[in-house]
Chain A
Amino acid sequence: MATLRDRTKEKSAINTKQIILWISLVLIVSFFLAPILWQVLTSLKVNADISAIPTVYFPTRFTFSHYLELFARRPFILYILNSALVAIISTLLCLTLGSPAAYALTRLKLPGENIILAGILIVTLFPYVLLFLGLLEIVKAIGLGNNYLALIIPYTAINLPLTILVMRSFFQQLPKDLEDAAKIDGYKIIPMLLRIVLPMTLPALVTTGILTFIFAWNEYIFALTFITRDTMKTIPVATAQLGGATLFDIPYGPIAAATILGTLPLVILVLLFQRRIVQGLTAGAVKG
């Protein structure tokens, strides 16, 4: 008897636990997705439905005109290309500079290693607004205004700490025997790195690369300050600067469409590489 009562108690406990779990799941999913879905819906509504009161939740008419307007009134393709170009180049540069540095900090016992690592950690905490004034002077001094390098160099730098930390935690897990064996075989360090370590590093490079790409794509304050030529702007800045056709009229439809276009590549990245992103972030933040 007693055991039976216990079991039903347990069962109902499991049931309430399940119910709570599912309710919280629904809440989590809707909290995170609702703003994005709302933006998708807005971007497809006709203007009359966008400014309808009460709000239209299930429009009967859909339109792509907001998307077309973006391309017709503004060089929106260029904005996307600019963002992609800057993000890809700075990602590659960051990996090329960051991985060797991470290797050096893991394997080649350098003096002052800990100080360097601590410095790299602290630097990740600097808000960009503390940097832009000094960077502005550099950009002015060497005439880098309206040059993609004015974005590529800072983006490389702001992603270097994360790259170094993630790659370092990867190298730490790599068995050292392989490299020792390679050395006995007479490999010098750099050829060994290129031929033996690099191929094994590829998954970690992809992980890091995705994170750097995301950060570079999303960056706002430098892009706002160092690029003033309309055709060279990146997506976040260009979207924030969309103007209305009449005063007091904010073009909600086109802004929503631009939001979707600007975030789509990232949503796809997340869908494809969710696991890697989580790995990379935790490696960068926790193990560092």
Chain B
Amino acid sequence: MSNDSLDGREKLIGWLLLIPALLVLALVFIYPIARAFWLSLFTENLGTQLQPEFSGLTNYLRMLGDGRFWQSMGNTAIFTIISVVLELILGLGIALVLNQSFRGRGVVRTIAIIPWALPTAVMGLAWAWIFNDQYGVVNDILQRLGVIDIGINWLGSPALAMTALIIADVWKTTPFISIILLAGLQSIPQDLYEAHAMDGANPWQSFSQITLPLLMPQILIALLFRFAQAFGVFDLVQVMTGGGPAGATETVSIYIYSTVMRYLDFGYGAALVVVTFLLLIAAVAITSLFLKRLRVS
């Protein structure tokens, strides 16, 4: 038996091991996106008795004049940027604290990942209850502290509803960031700090000159993941505000979902999917370019 044919057999087996997984991935990830591209060229809605009729770029033209789409894009951008930045700052802080040695560290680390593991939809209900206008505990605490006189209708006014959503999201996903950053922190050799301290650097200097640069890859990875997830936020919004009040918290994913499941406007929904997908890919491409440059240098 020659070496070549052995290699060939190995390769064959390799493909056999790989292909089932790739098929499932293609079915669930590639097909729906490709299908959305195709379907977005058709009008398929209640006006056509749910039958597809070729309509070229009509759906995309309609999107240009669709105020609600742009509003939902804006809401998504606000939600994504504010929550990801907050989560990054908090997550870094928590990772730094958890990287210290203290008694009971294991327990605190365990507690600090619990929110990440819980179902978002279910905890969204819990947060809606916390922010309830009449019996919510947030209003009660603020009243006791004398900050407000009467209960605030958190989920009923546009800016406050967005605030409540962001707080709930920060609670839920900061643990993910701190786990990733903590792993990064642990991989920084301790003697680097010692050498730096010998040179007379203060803690802030060693943080900004050693920790941050060495942690940058992890920070970017966490950013990338969180950015994509926050951009597609659905469960939390659907459960806490349903996109209200008056569409003030309607994100792109909520709009896509109601376009398809409520309006049965499949062609237009597909066009929304395509545009969102392309925007997301563009953002990811930019971030990974940064990541690559960082790894090279």
A contacts, CB < 8 Å to B? 21-22, 24-25, 28-29, 31-33, 35-36, 38-39, 42, 50-55, 97-98, 100-101, 103-105, 108, 110, 116, 120, 122-138, 153-154, 156-158, 160-161, 164, 189-190, 214, 217-218, 220-221, 225, 235-237, 239-240, 252, 255-256, 258-259, 262-263, 266-267, 269-271, 274, 277-278, 281-282, 285-286
In contact, A129 and B222 (Cβ under 8 angstroms)? no
Give the Cβ gap from A194 to chain B, nearest Cβ, in Å: 12
**Any chain A CB within 8 A of the CB of B69?**
no
In contact, B121 and A128 (Cβ under 8 angstroms)? no
**Any chain A CB within 8 A of the CB of B289?**
no
Task: Using A132-B257, A160-B24, A281-B176 as known contacts, say yes or no to A267 and B111 having CB atoms under 8 A apart.
Answer: no
**Any chain A CB within 8 A of the CB of B269?**
yes
5 tightest A-B CB contacts, nearest first = A127-B232, A134-B32, A157-B28, A108-B14, A100-B17
Task: Using A104-B14, A220-B119, A240-B239 as known contacts, say yes or no to A134 and B179 having CB atoms under 8 A apart.
Answer: no
Give the contact stretch, choosing among B60-68, B128-136, B189-197: B128-136
Residue pairs across A and B with CB atoms within 8 Å: the count is: 272
Task: Using A221-B257, A263-B123 as known contacts, say yes or no to A285 and B222 having CB atoms under 8 A apart.
Answer: yes
In contact, B33 and A131 (Cβ under 8 angstroms)? yes
Chain B: number of interface residues, binned into ranges: 35 or more
Chain B's interface: helix, strand, loop or mixed, by majority?
A: helix
In contact, B20 and A97 (Cβ under 8 angstroms)? yes
Give the Cβ gap from A249 to chain B, nearest Cβ, in Å: 12
Some 18 contacts from A to B, beta carbons below 8 A apart, are A29-B108, A32-B112, A32-B171, A51-B135, A101-B18, A108-B10, A123-B29, A124-B225, A127-B231, A127-B233, A132-B257, A134-B34, A134-B35, A137-B35, A138-B32, A157-B29, A218-B118, A220-B234
Nearest residue in B to A105 (C-beta to C-beta)?
A: B18
Please, which residues of chain A bring their CB within 8 A of the CB of B280?
125-127, 130
